Amino acid sequence: MSDEDVPRRAVTRNAKLAGLPIGYLGRSALGLGKRIGGRGAEIVAQEIQQRTAEQIFRVLGELKGGAMKMGQALSIFEAALPPEIAEPYRATLTKLQESAPPLPVRTVHQVLAQDLGEDWRDKFTEFDDRPVAAASIGQVHRAIWGDGRSVAVKIQYPGAGKAIINDFNQLARIGRLFSVMAPGLDVKPLLEELRTRVAEELDYELEAQSQQAFADAYRGDPDIFVPDVIFASPHVLVSQWMDGTPLAKIISDGSQEQRNRAGILLARFLFSGPARAGLLHGDPHPGNFRLLDDGRLGVLDFGAVDRLPDGLPPFFGRLLRIMGEEHPDVKAVERELRANNFLRPGIDVDLEALQAFLAPLAEPSKAESFHFTREWLRGEAARVTDLNASNISRKFNLPPSYVLIHRVTTAGIGVLCQLECEGRFRDEVLRWMPGYSDEPDEGRRSLPVG
């Protein structure tokens, strides 16, 4: 296969990524000239931020692989950006969540022949060469399987593995640039986590096992739908076709009722997965969800999962419960944090500052009904990056076993704020979060999902 099928040669990819900081420096120099010429510093800074973001997401989308996966992860933080900055390139982020430049048809056929055999067409009644979606390491085609079922055929980009390793090495070198787009964002742990999880996503057979486990766990569910796996090989994954409105479309054009329903079902799915399937969906960006015509939430892409056979750690539930009390026992919070290695031995914290830092995190699970908004998330982002708050946050340690849970929680909240949804999220916490109430876990998990 030609290296030109996906821009993956090290020199080509490095040059594109290296061009990001060069472009930023050029815009900064131009901005200095504009300020000297009399334009306001704030206006010039906004222009630089906007154009930098546009270039970042365009390049990351073109490169696919680890670069695009980074772009998808960053796109979740769109809701936290100031409105005057976010609006001009929100469409760019949405496009990145849903699509990327497609592979040439001949390359698609080569991958299918490699994994399904030269007679691969005999396995399908129909196969559409035009992709319906393209993502970070693969693209999806619609087809009719031999038995007449409509299917989605996910095909991995040739050379994706090598491209990913190279991408993350290069992205780590230019990590500071992302703070121009989202000040206060710590990119290093995000990159490290993505590096680990994307490596797993290259194994389509492992993804098929995870997807089928979710499909079995939610079979017949009135609110959640996961397509069955029909065929899997190292580079091709064939699943039951799923129609529906992409969550990105609900975010941009959906009614308040649709956004509220999508939000509560997203929270329900993320919270209930560990209890029902022993797995946590690890990539909750809008491109992986659909609102079906019958009102169910359809879920896609199970390459990144956290295996939690015992469910979510009760630590999170206990922490939320304590912080949600009218007079929280902050010493008990400190004990929980130390017991779970979030505060290492010898690290001292001011308890009042700790309470002020953690209290807002319990708001969505404290109120009977909560409204997730971009404004609320921007306030939280500003609060966390405030000097006083950052003094507290810098003292925290994030144990490796909690990294993906933390990323899913953060990304999930970002999507809920993009949806601007409102609902009884406390009920979902009570139902699915171990440690939050005194009710036995099994009793809580057996409650109806509808």
Tell me what pLDDT residue 53 has: 56
What SS3 string covers the chain? CCCCCCCCCHHHHHHHHHHHHHHHHHHHHHHHHHHHCCCCHHHHHHHHHHHHHHHHHHHHHHHCHHHHHHHHHHHHHHHHCCHHHHHHHHHHHHHHHHCCCCCCHHHHHHHHHHHHCCCHHHHEEEEEEEEEEECCCEEEEEEEECCCCEEEEEEECCCHHHHHHHHHHHHHHCHHHHHHHCCCCCHHHHHHHHHHHHHHHCCHHHHHHHHHHHHHHCCCCCCEECCCEEEECCCEEEEECCCCEEHHHHHHHCCHHHHHHHHHHHHHHHHHHHHHCCEEECCCCHHHEEECCCCCEEECCCCCEEECCCCCCHHHHHHHHHHCCCCCCHHHHHHHHHHCCCCCCCCCCCHHHHHHHHHHHHHHHHCCCEECCHHHHHHHHHHHHCHHHHHHHCCCCCCHHHHHHHHHHHHHHHHHHHHCCEECHHHHHHHHCCCCCCCCHHHHHCCCCC
Tokens 């290069």 correspond to 170
Specify the residue for token string 């109806």.
Answer: 448
If asked whether residues 179 and 317 sit together in one domain, one would say no
pLDDT tens across 288-315, in order?
Answer: 999 999 999 999 999 889 999 999 999 9
Is residue 254 included in any domain, yes or no?
Answer: yes
Q: Are residues 275 and 379 in the same domain?
A: yes
Domain for residue 210, yes or no?
no
Whether residue 100 contacts residue 220, with contact meaning beta carbons closer than 8 Å, is answered with no
Whether 294 and 384 map to the same domain: the answer is yes
User: Tell me, what's the pLDDT at 447?
Assistant: 41
* Cα distance between residue 255 and residue 190, in whole Å: 32
Residue 328 lies in a domain: yes
Query: pLDDT higher for 105 or 97?
Result: 105
Share of the chain above pLDDT 90, in %: 42
Examine the fold and report which residue of 177, 198, 219 is the final residue of a domain before the chain moves on: 198
Q: Does 156 reside within a domain?
A: no
Checking if the pLDDT of 79 tops 80, the result is no
What CA–CA distance (Å, rounded) separates 222 from 296? 7
pLDDT in tens, 32-52: 333 344 344 444 344 544 555
Same domain as 362, residue 290: yes
pLDDT at 160: 76
pLDDT of residue 71: 53
Indicate if 187 and 303 belong to the same structural domain. no
- Looking at residue 76, its pLDDT comes to 47
Give the bridge partners for 384, in sequence order. Answer: none
Pairwise pLDDT comparison (158 vs 207), residue with the higher score: 207
pLDDT band of 393, cuts 50, 70, 90: low
Looking at residue 442, its pLDDT comes to 44
Q: In this structure, what token pair is assigned to residue 208? A: 């098929």
**What backbone phi and psi angles, to 5 degrees, belong to 305?**
-135, 155
**Do 331 and 187 belong to one domain?**
no
264 and 409: one domain?
yes
- The mean pLDDT of 25-33, rounded to a whole number, is 38
The answer to whether residues 183 and 320 belong to one domain is: no
Question: What value does the mean pLDDT take over residues 416-428?
Answer: 95
CA distance 307 to 282: 10
Q: Report yes or no on 278 lying in a domain.
A: yes
Domain boundary among 172, 198, 224: 198
What pairs with residue 154 in β-bridges? 140, 237
227 pLDDT above the threshold of 60: yes
Report which of 179, 190, 163, 173 is spatially closest to residue 8, judged by C-alpha positions.
163
Higher pLDDT, 382 or 72: 382
Greater pLDDT, 47 or 339: 339
Rounded to the nearest integer, the mean pLDDT of the chain is 77
- Evaluate whether residue 120 is within a structural domain: no
Asked if 425 and 342 sit in the same domain, the reply is yes
Nearest Cα to Cα of residue 194 among 378, 403, 11: 403
pLDDT value at residue 426:
94
Task: Report pLDDT for 346.
Answer: 83
> What does the pLDDT read at residue 165?
66
Q: Is the pLDDT of residue 150 over 80?
A: yes
Same domain, 321 and 427: yes
pTM reported for the whole predicted model = 0.75
**What type of residue sits at position 321?**
R
Question: What is the count of structural domains for the chain?
Answer: 2
342 has a pLDDT exceeding 60? yes
Task: Say if residue 305 is in the same domain as residue 170.
Answer: no
- What domain range is 434 assigned to? 244-450
Q: Which residue has the tokens 């971009």?
A: 374
**Which two tokens mark 309?**
């056979």
Q: What is the pLDDT of residue 45?
A: 46
Judge whether 386 lies within some domain: yes
Mean per-residue pLDDT, 386-403 = 68
Q: With pLDDT > 70 as the criterion, what percentage of the chain qualifies?
A: 64
Single out the residue of 348, 357, 368 nearest to residue 328, CA to CA: 357
Q: What is the pLDDT averaged over residues 54-71?
A: 52
> Quick check: is 372 in a domain?
yes
Q: Is the pLDDT of residue 157 over 90?
A: no
* pLDDT tens, position by position, 246-285: 999 999 999 999 999 999 999 999 999 999 999 999 989 8
- What pLDDT is stored for residue 269 in this prediction? 98
Do 399 and 264 belong together in one domain? yes
Compute the average pLDDT of residues 334-363.
84
Identify the pLDDT of residue 90: 52
Query: What span, in angstroms and rounded, lies between the C-alpha atoms of 43 and 35?
Result: 9
